[in-house]
Structures are given as C-alpha cells and as structure tokens.
Amino acid sequence: MKNDFRKMEDEMDRLATNMAVITDFSARISATLQDRHERITKLAGVHALLRKLQFLFELPSRLTKCVELGAYGQAVRYQGRAQAVLQQYQHLPSFRAIQDDCQVITARLAQQLRQRFREGGSGAPEQAECVELLLALGEPAEELCEEFLAHARGRLEEELRSLEAELGPSPPAPDVLEFTDHGGSGFVGGLCQVAAAYQELFAAQGPAGAERLAAFARELGSRYFALVERRLAQEQGGGDNSLLVRALDRFHRRLRAPGALLAAAGLAEAATEIVERVARERLGHHLQGLRAAFLGCLTDVRQALAAPRVAGKEGPGLAELLANVASSILSHIKASLAAVHLFTAKEVSFSNKPYFRGEFCSQGVREGLIVGFIRSMCQTAQSFCDSPGEKGGATPPALLLLLSRLCLDYETATISYILTLTDEQFLVQDQFPVTPVSTLCAEARETARRLLTHYVKVQGLVISQMLRKSVETRDWLSTLEPRNVRAVMKRVVEDTTAIDVQVGLLYEEGVRKAQSSDSSKRTFSVYSSSRQQGRYAPSYTPSAPMDTNLLSNIQKLFSERIDVFSPVEFNKVSVLTGIIKISLKTLLECVRLRTFGRFGLQQVQVDCHFLQLYLWRFVADEELVHLLLDEVVASAALRCPDPVPMEPSVVEVICERG
C-alpha cells in the first residue's frame, strides 16, 4: 500500500505540472486570440444590427406583401415589433420615411381588416381574430366594441327576420316546436357566441363594456321574445298541449345558457314570464273548452228530447241521457287535467319555477279551471230558471229535470271526486286560499233546488192553463145535464201521469202517507156526515151565506192550511204534489170567478170526483187532494144561485163510465 500511495503521489505531481503547463498554454492562446475574439464579436453585433436595419428597410414592402397575401396576423406582428424602434429613431430622416411608409401601409391594413370585419361573410372566429388584430394595432376599443356589436346585431337581425318570415301567412307554417328550435339554435345560439366572443375580446373594457353588451342583448332579446309571443299566440290549438309544452321547454332551456352569461340582461326572467303567460292562456283556453263542451252536451240533450219518436224504437230515456251528459263532462274534465298536467311534468325545465309549483296549481288549475268550470256550470243551469220566456218558453221541462238531477249528483259525489283527483295531480304548495269542497257542494245543491222548483212551476203552469181555459171559456149558466166527465179532465190526468213517469225516471219515489185501503173508492166527502148538512141548502136567503161561511170557517180553523208553494224535496212524490197543488189552486180561483147554473155545478162535481179518483195516488198526502177538491166544489156551489147537487151514486156511475 505504501507503494501504491507513492505511485499516486508521483502521478499527482505529474498531473499538477501538466495542469500548470496547460494553463500556461491556454493563457497564451487566449491572449493570442483576444483581439480576434473582439473583432468577431463586433462583427456579429454589426451583423445583427444590419439584419435589423434590413428588416426595417424591407418592412414596408414586406408589409405590403403580407397585406396582399392576406397574412394579416403576420403583418401585425411585424408592425408590432418594429413599432418601438421606429418610434425611438423617428428623428432620423430615413427612419422617418420608413415609419411613414409603415404607417400608411398599417392604415391600409387596418382598413382592410375593418373591411373584412364589416363584410362579415366569415364566421365569428375570424371576426374575433380581426378584432384582436385591430386591438393590437391600437385602434380605440369603444369603436371596436360598437362595430363588433353592430355587426353582430346585423347577423342576429337576419336571424330574427327569418323567424318573422316563418310567422307569416305563407305556407307551410312550421309547427311551434320547429319554430322554437330554429329560434333557439339560430338566434340564441348566435347571441351566446357573440356574448362569449365579446367578453373574451373586450374583457379589459370593464363594466362599461359589460353594460353595453347587456343593453344590446336586452334589446335584441325583447324583439326575439315579441316574435316568440306572436308565434305562441297563434297556437290556438286543441286540447293537446304536449307539443306546446315541449316547445316551451326548449325555449326556456335555451335561454338558461345566455342567462348565465348575460345575467344583467334578465333574459331568463323574461323567458319565464313568457312561459307563465302562455300557461295562463292555456288554462283559460281549457276553461272555454270545458264550457263549450257542457253547452254542447245540453244542445245534444235538447235535440234528443225534441227528436220525433221513431215508431217501434224507444228514444233514449232520460236516465240514459243523464248518464251520457255526466260521463261526457267527466271525461272532458279528465282530459283537460291531463293536458294541463304536462306543464308540471318533472322533465320540463320550468316546472320547478315557483309559479308553476304554487300559483299555477292552486289558483290556475284548481280555482280557475276546475272550480271555475263547476261554478259556470251551475250558473248556466240556473239561467234556465230565469229565462224571460216564462210561459214555458223554449226550455223543455225534461231538460230542467235532467239538469237538477245532474247538479244533485254533483253535490253528492262528483264534485268531491273531481277535486280529489285535481289535488292528487297538482300538489298544492302555497298558501293561496282555495274553495273548500263544501262550498261548491252547497252551490250545486242550491242550483238543483232552484231548477226543480222551476220545473214544478213550469209543469204546474201547463196544467193550470188547461184548467183555466176550461173554466173560463165554458158557458156555465146554460150548460146541459152532465153525462160524462169533460175531456179536459182526462187530459189533465193523462198529463199528470206522464209527468209522474218522467220524474220517476230520474228521481226516487219518496215517502207517502199510508193510505187507507178504500182510498180509491172514497166518496165525495161533501156528503159524508162530518160536514154540516145545511151547507148547500137550496133556499137562498140573505143570511144563509153568512151562516154557512161561518161554519165553513170554523171547519177551516181545525184543518191545516195548505201551503201552495212549500219547498220541493228531491223526490218524485214531492214534485208531483207541488204540481198538483198549483193546478188545483188555479182551478179553485177560476171557479170562484164564474157564475154557475145548476147543471154547471153538477158538471163541476163530476169533474172533481174524477180528478180525485186518479190524482190521489201521485201526492204525498191524499187528504190534500180531497181538501182542495172539496173547496172547489164548495166555491162552485156558492157561486150558484140554484145549487142542486147530484146524487153521489150517479156521480160515481158517470165517472166510472167516463
């Protein structure tokens, strides 16, 4: 090891000496080459400077070439590079010249760029490039902004014009979905691009620039909205909303994008407003549709009622007509609900806006559409009661009956069903006041009651007119001995039976007071022992009427007074009782206004007995019929100067024969 170390030491020494020699040599070389090195450096510097000068001298021609070739970007770069130097040395005449040349060319370049910019045949990225270059050339930024926006406006206006052209009457008008697509992609897409480009390019402009953009977007946006609204207004459409909803969805969705970019322009809110307006209009439209459907049903019923009966074929019964009307209205309501439900579907972009979640469901659909329709139905039905043609005008009584049953059914079942359905489909999420089910049911019941009362009046009037004419036109003083019942009485019984059948089709029987077994054979109670015998005494003294009146008054005190227009219940017996009461009271009043001969009185007797034989079975309490008919005969007897009543057996024979 010692050897190795010694060898290394020797080696190291040798190395050191070598190094010293090398260093020595290197220093000698550097010294030798020193001035050459300097000269070369100087030459290199001069070379670079010369290249720059060359560049400068060539600059105008190069610029011209670039402009000719259209390599604007390159030209602008050259220009940028040379700018500072030229600026600094512009006091030197040669540089001055160059600078002037360059400026001319640059101006030309700028002009060309502007030209290109204005032509705008190229797409937006090229536009953006132009703008960028122009900015780099040092053009004033506001001007560029304005021009950029003006240019964009031109393009967008063209889009708008093409949209407007679609609105025109020239066929074929594309459907609303295509329209919104076109508008969305064309205009809104363009607007988005413009907005993005603008923000990129002119971001340095700060709030003033953003304001300008917002104003621009607002103005064009409002015009676009106007067009969209016009198009939507054209959309009268049937019951199907699906196309409309999809179109609105697309429209709304599209405007969410620029909405983010252009928050200040408020485009998204305006779009939502438009959608809300359209939704409201659709609701109104559906309400009109439901009303029209209801009136259509009524017209159909009237036609069916008025249609002449084909021999051998029964026309549709009232119950069937009622079922048809009810089911038709229900199906219309369901269809409308389904159509309107589309507005709140989950996929639709605007369905979670506060309006649609809250007010649309409660006020729009539930209150406006459903409750509004039911109320208008009740009003239409009630208008049949108030029609000026009170003499049984144009409204067939069967229609009144049918409507009253319809309203009654609505009150008992249908209204709550419909409202439950509505509430299920449209969950109400706000605090707007809604009409409770009970209010609507009360209204429907009231309508049903009024209709039924009016029906009773109308039918009562028909029969009363018959009876009135029969009493007023006959000469009672010179009439012959009655051989049979008058035809008018038979008609009265027939009509009453027909009414009974008609009402029985729709309403339940009702409760009647238990009859005694021999009701039909009940003889005329005038002759029963319960009455005072001296009532129809043939002798007519001045004092007799007073006495018999007194007696009959006492009698009346103990019998119940008949209320002619007591409220009608919803059953057949009550309806018939009302009609018969009206008719018999009319007969009574008319009889009191005439003077009867002997046989006239007997004819009245026969007629009343006949009526009593047949009318008792229709009323709730047969005592009523007896009382009224007794009154009629009693009044006739008082009006007779020579009252000789017929024997009851003879009366019965005549009635049975007739």
Partner 1 sequence: MEDDAPVIYGLEFQIHIIDFDDENNIINKNVLLHQAGEIWHISASPADRGVLATCYNRTSDSKVLTCAAVWRMPKELESGSHESPDDSSSTAQTLELLCHLDNTAHSNMACVVWEPMGDGKKIISLADNHILLWDLQESSSQAVLASSASLGGKGQLKFTSGRWSPHHNCTQVATANDTTLRGWDTRTMSQIYCIENAHGQLVRDLDFNPNKQYYLASCGDDCKVKFWDTRNVTEPVKTLEEHSHWVWNVRYNHSHDQLVLTGSSDSRVILSNMVSISSEPFGHLVDDDDISDQEDHRSEEKSKEPLQDNVIATYEEHEDSVYAVDWSSADPWLFASLSYDGRLVINRVPRALKYHILL
For the bound state, the minimum distance from the C-beta of residue 628 to partner 1, rounded and expressed in Å, comes to: 12
To which residue do tokens 């964009």 refer?
152
Contacts within 8 Å (CB) and 24+ apart, 391-396: 391/461, 392/458, 392/461, 392/462, 395/458, 396/302, 396/305, 396/306
534 binds partner 1 (CB under 8 A): no
For the bound state, the minimum distance from the C-beta of residue 389 to partner 1, rounded and expressed in Å, comes to: 9
For the bound state, the minimum distance from the C-beta of residue 457 to partner 1, rounded and expressed in Å, comes to: 9
Alpha helices in 307-432 (DSSP H): 318-341, 354, 372-383, 397-409, 415-425
Comparing CA positions, the residue from 247, 248, 420 lying closest to residue 334 is: 420
For the bound state, the minimum distance from the C-beta of residue 577 to partner 1, rounded and expressed in Å, comes to: 14
How far apart, in whole angstroms, are the C-alpha atoms of residue 207 and residue 195?
14
Q: Which residues 6+ apart lie within 8 Å of 27 measured at CB?
A: none
306-343 burial, b if ≥16 CB within 10 A, otherwise e? eeeeeeeeeeeebeebbeebbeebeebbebbbebbbbb
592 binds partner 1 (CB under 8 A): yes
Q: Which residues 6+ apart lie within 8 Å of 426 measured at CB?
A: 341, 344, 360, 361, 362, 365, 366
For the bound state, the minimum distance from the C-beta of residue 477 to partner 1, rounded and expressed in Å, comes to: 4
**Of 282, 585, 609, 626, the one binding partner 1 by CB under 8 A:** 585
Q: How far is CA 64 from CA 54, 105, 112, 355, 387, in A?
A: 16, 7, 12, 63, 94
73 binds partner 1 (CB under 8 A): no
Residues in 464-503 at the binding interface with partner 1, rule: CB under 8 A: 477-478
557 binds partner 1 (CB under 8 A): yes
For the bound state, the minimum distance from the C-beta of residue 585 to partner 1, rounded and expressed in Å, comes to: 6
**Of 32, 545, 644, 656, the one binding partner 1 by CB under 8 A:** 545
**Of 461, 463, 499, 628, the one binding partner 1 by CB under 8 A:** 461
Size of the site for partner 1 (CB under 8 A): 26
**Of 108, 595, 644, 656, the one binding partner 1 by CB under 8 A:** 595
For the bound state, the minimum distance from the C-beta of residue 420 to partner 1, rounded and expressed in Å, comes to: 38
112 binds partner 1 (CB under 8 A): no
Q: Which residues 6+ apart lie within 8 Å of 622 measured at CB?
A: 513, 515, 519, 616
560 binds partner 1 (CB under 8 A): no
* Choices 39-47, 91-99, 337-345, 561-569 (CB under 8 A): range interacting with partner 1: 561-569
How far apart, in whole angstroms, are the C-alpha atoms of residue 167 and residue 228?
9
Hey, how many other C-beta atoms are within 10 angstroms of the C-beta on 131?
Answer: 24
546 binds partner 1 (CB under 8 A): yes
**Of 390, 494, 509, 647, the one binding partner 1 by CB under 8 A:** 390
584 binds partner 1 (CB under 8 A): no
* Choices 223-231, 327-335, 428-436, 559-567 (CB under 8 A): range interacting with partner 1: 559-567
For the bound state, the minimum distance from the C-beta of residue 505 to partner 1, rounded and expressed in Å, comes to: 28
589 binds partner 1 (CB under 8 A): yes
525 binds partner 1 (CB under 8 A): no
Q: Where are the beta strands (DSSP E) in 186-273?
A: none
3-state per-residue secondary structure call for 438-461: HHHHHHHHHHHHHHHHHHHHHHHH
Q: Which residues 6+ apart lie within 8 Å of 330 measured at CB?
A: 414, 418
539 binds partner 1 (CB under 8 A): no
641 binds partner 1 (CB under 8 A): yes
Residue ranges that bind partner 1, judged by CB under 8 A: 388, 390-391, 461, 477-478, 542-543, 545-546, 549, 552-553, 556-557, 561, 563-565, 585, 589, 592, 595, 597, 635, 641
